[in-house]
Amino acid sequence: MSQLVTIYGGSGFVGRYIARRLAKSGWRVRVAVRRPNEAMHVKPYGVVGQVEPVFCNIRDDDSVRSVMQGADAVVNCVGTFDKGGKNNFEAVQHHGAERIARIAAEEGVGRMVHISSIGADETSDSLYSQSKAKGEAAVLSHMPGAVILRPSVVFGPEDQFFNRFAGLTRFGPVLPVVGADTKFQPVYVDNVAEAVAMSVEGNAASGVYELGGPDVNTFRELMQHMLRVIRRRRLILNIPFWAANAMATGMEAVQFLTGGLVPPQITRDQVRSLRVDNVAQEGAKTLADLGIRPVAIEAVIPDYLWRFRPAGQYEALKESAKNLRAD
Which residues on neighbouring strands pair with residue 218, listed in sequence order?
Answer: 183
In a domain, 163, yes or no: no
Listed as own residue / partner, the contacts of 224-230 with beta carbons closer than 8 Å and 24 or more positions apart are 225/297, 225/298, 225/301, 226/162, 226/165, 226/166, 226/301, 226/305, 227/169, 227/175, 229/301, 229/302, 229/305, 229/306, 230/166, 230/169, 230/305, 230/306, 230/308, 230/309
- C-alpha closest to that of 186 among 285, 70, 265, 299: 299
In a domain, 232, yes or no: no
Q: How confident is the model at residue 105 (pLDDT cuts 50, 70, 90)?
A: very high
Looking at residue 90, which CATH number applies to its domain?
Answer: 3.40.50.720
Identify the domain containing residue 43 by its residue range. 4-155+186-213+278-294
- C-alpha closest to that of 99 among 66, 130, 72: 66
Cα 218 to Cα 176, 248, 300: the distances in Å are: 14, 22, 19
With 60 as the cut, is the pLDDT of residue 327 above it? no
In a domain, 303, yes or no: no
The least confident of 106-115, 150-159, 184-193, 254-263 is 254-263
Whether the CA torsion 272, 75, 147, 61 is positive or negative: it is positive
In a domain, 86, yes or no: yes
pTM of structure: 0.93
Q: What is the pLDDT of residues 70-97, one digit of tens each?
A: 999 999 999 988 877 788 899 999 999 9
* Mean pLDDT score, 20-25: 96
In a domain, 263, yes or no: no
In a domain, 323, yes or no: no
* Mean pLDDT score, 162-181: 96
Structural domains of the chain, count: 1
Cα 103 to Cα 5, 66, 78, 100, 320: the distances in Å are: 14, 10, 16, 5, 59
